[in-house]
């Protein structure tokens, strides 16, 4: 698993109630000690940050890249995550990247005429 390779641990997974997730999915997570947290019924904003990340990933990576196999997909996703978290400007952070310092506001210190 990639998370274990990176030295990260997962305590819980937040997901919606979509039928795409079979009961086996929850069983596998539970066997690994990962708790499944379900969002409310018809409440997509409960997981809005992840929904936005998936949308951004689709538009900026997957719509523009021909993926050959699972290995290539995993590599592309790792590179996109690195780019997204270190270089890509974010509007909510005044166009700064998450791992960069937020720029100082531009102010005009000239005296009025």
pTM of the model: 0.62
User: Tens-digit pLDDT profile for the chain (113 aa)?
Assistant: 466 676 778 889 998 888 888 889 889 989 989 999 999 988 878 888 888 889 999 999 999 999 999 999 999 999 998 888 887 877 767 777 777 666 677 776 666 66
Contact 35, 41 (CB under 8 A): no
DSSP H stretches of helix in the chain = 2-5, 23-31, 48-57, 70-86
Angle between helices 70-86 and 48-57 (to 10 degrees): 110
Domain spans of the chain, in order of start: 1-42, 48-97
Contact 60, 80 (CB under 8 A): yes
């Amino acid at each position: 698993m990639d998370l274990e390779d990176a030295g990260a641990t997962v305590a819980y997974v937040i997901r919606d109630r979509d039928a795409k997730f079979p009961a086996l999915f929850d069983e596998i997570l539970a066997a690994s000690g990962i708790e499944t947290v379900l969002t409310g019924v018809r409440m997509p904003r409960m997981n809005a940050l992840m929904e936005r990340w998936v949308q951004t990933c689709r538009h900026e990576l997957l719509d523009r890249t021909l993926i050959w196999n699972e290995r290539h997909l995993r590599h592309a996703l790792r590179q996109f995550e690195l780019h997204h978290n270190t270089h890509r400007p974010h509007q909510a952070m005044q166009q700064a990247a998450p791992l960069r310092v937020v720029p100082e506001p531009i102010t005009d210190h000239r005296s009025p005429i």
